[in-house]
Chains A and B, each alone.
Chain A
């Protein structure tokens, strides 16, 4: 019996090339997307940790001025600690923002570090391109891969540094993987030069910074060591630790993996629904043949096997192609990603995740096919041979039960009939419509909310204002705070002024090493600038403070708790009166009132002024006017939210969101197209009858439109409110890491509801196209 089953299955495959192509391609797309996503998630930690261990990388980098910290004492102390495996000799370093390639200034702080003799085993550097030397030669520089990629720098190119006369050139000798600064997302980054190179371009009197690398037994040793280091050495300088390097690397990696997984799951659902509907469609059209097979002795199991084998054969062909495709895609994605991040190699096993994923998908395909094919096994041979189609009593009952059948147009009536006829596919279509509408509306409104940052900066933790003034107290004819405020208040075009200054404090919390934090000290109630709190109130009294959400979470402090800080050289206990969100400092910071700071420093005065103009006043002209009026006593700037770099980030974010929405619209397009084709195939008999009774193709198209646009209506009805309701929650979770817990969503009514006719139009066009294709 095996041979007839195989032969029938093979014939089935050849008989329905379009449908099988659809099933095969759906499975292939799902498999191609799923395997890399699983591979990436399974191996997400591994490349970084492997690379870090293999390169013997320091878990802790300390950057300090050798005049502040006695490096010999520090090294001696470190060498006596149990957690420490090895310590690097201090490497002279110089931070510059002046590095230029061709005429372009590199928009990054580059730590130029001298690669010292004897430091080659610890913190190894892998050369991706370049010669075999252990160190750069004089006049040469080794740069990380991401820097080379970002500025299209090749081996042999020259990077220039200004010296006040002739710029000093450094020739790129190697493009390397730096175990710490391996991501382009990190600023600063590091480049290596030979020992003694720094005085070629920087006066020796500017060269006091050194970098020490410390390799520990495990990354978990960092915190206890760091705390003791503060206590016993009173270390003062910058430090970079393992968790920072890893999180910078991982954040990009994780986001990419999750996005791929989401797409993969969606593709898989679509593929399974395609299999299910296609299988049902095939069984329906093979109904009479099934009767014949049964009458010649095929058991129900044999019949089910034929259909399962048909799908399995298609699946195997698809998965074979997908396996190769997945492998290629994983290689491509990981290589491009890892190259971007500057990693040396791909120590991720692809085969295992691919095999597991394909096996999983195969099992799922078998399950879905079996579920869809069961009907074929249950088919009665007599009935199949007699009527050629299953009894459709229930559906007809539903169709006849419609109470308004006599009042609605015949096309709408028949469209509804067709809709009910393929009710399982309708569920699938409705789900696709809902998902696409959800993502589209989500993208529109999230993008819109981001673009409104300049209109509603306070929602993002930024002061509401049109112009930012910074007072310069260090000139001969300076304006003091009161004088400047007085003059600003007398300007007729100014609505409101909020003045503040930045203040640095060190948080002293049990169980945490002392950490410097920048906060703002407001002269007026922050509410004047539209600022609000997530919980609690703004600080008013000298002993009150509000914390940004990230700081509050890091130190596990809530409203009513107290926090100890070293501020203005004095240890002070503040009571937390509020928790707020602020995007400007990645969720870290604090707010104080001038009262609090004046109690610590009576000479404190604000230097920054956020100016709100009256409605209708031209911001650009007002900015020029204020600059002219106050000349060198102030610097007049755009507010943070209006600055080009912020707007650039917002534009990129919107592009990303719209790309995501486009993907879902594409999926929707394919789904409608497939469904329409399948429906038309199922309805061949009815269409023939309709043609015979004089129906024109336009009438059939209208009927199809009624059938297809009903799920659209449902999808839109569910998708839009769902997106509006869930959007802020989803975004709040995604942006909590950057200090925004309550995502300030603003609904763009025109675009949101403007999509409705657009979506209907899309549904109509696809229906028309598939109908045309069918004909």
Chain B
């Protein structure tokens, strides 16, 4: 029996712990400085907006951990001594381990702007950030958010839920346009404005101005405009949170460097989730994957390695999702912001301007490479299976009804989509009826 110690109680650390317990009787300890229990980080925004309370964001009841013999320790790890296999906590205590898992997640980026450490300026990642935001956003006349990504738009939605006027500075020409293609990105631009968010595209932050008490009172943009505000949200991405590893001998670059088994350069020390950086990225994936799903999958793999079944992290076909204010987004496979030279592209948008579908496929073979769907839902199993079987875009469109995952009684768009596809591509694809037999085959 080993003594496995996991630093970090987010989705990566907790998935590892749960699966180690499923597979073994090892002693498991999970350490967190953030909260006593695992909660869903992606749900932090809903606490602020009053949709849920903190307790609702905990996927397991508090008795779960003791019942499954997963020890929880609330402490801050200051130093890791890999020679002595010992952790040093900020209160002077220590703890030994046989195998160490680093799952410390991220911290918000700051790019050295003047005034970035003023009061009222913050990012949003941790539970503490949420508490700070609660305190920082009382009686505001305006908030400014810097950075047009997923956390930026979430923060804008949070503030708007309390009717706080928001100016949203996005450096790019269009919202999240390094990920979203033109049509989708434009759709979200419009939707942001529909929510009365003052969206400033192609606008950078230059400086944050302090009042006499060291609190933010305005920002100056790249164009020299001054915007009065009492709150600045810095949402320009996150970086691995690995300060505790200084001097430990564990190799790091931007994150903790790991091999495909999530092992670091030091024996019996592993890292996963947001804080891990792959020496060799997986296919088209980034070397640091900061996504809920990838953290979970790494945990599923690492648990096996820790239980003497060495298992590489081998993610399958890419998928992701988000919600931009009221518009849901799902993606399966790879859809790049701009189609590559060997790719064909199809984009359909509903006349209401809030629903769309994009397909990308290989020019030479017709094989489907990726799909973006906004404003309606598609079945993960369908696309996972179709990618594995190397199905063509024609096949996928023919069977699109099998993939529809919208609630019952919703209007469907397949006919309209296929009519446009046929028109643009000179094809004559006929839509097949939904088949439960085929749908059940996806699952097998």
- The judgment on whether A and B are partners is no
Interface positions of B (Cβ within 8 A of A): none
Interface positions of A (Cβ within 8 A of B): none
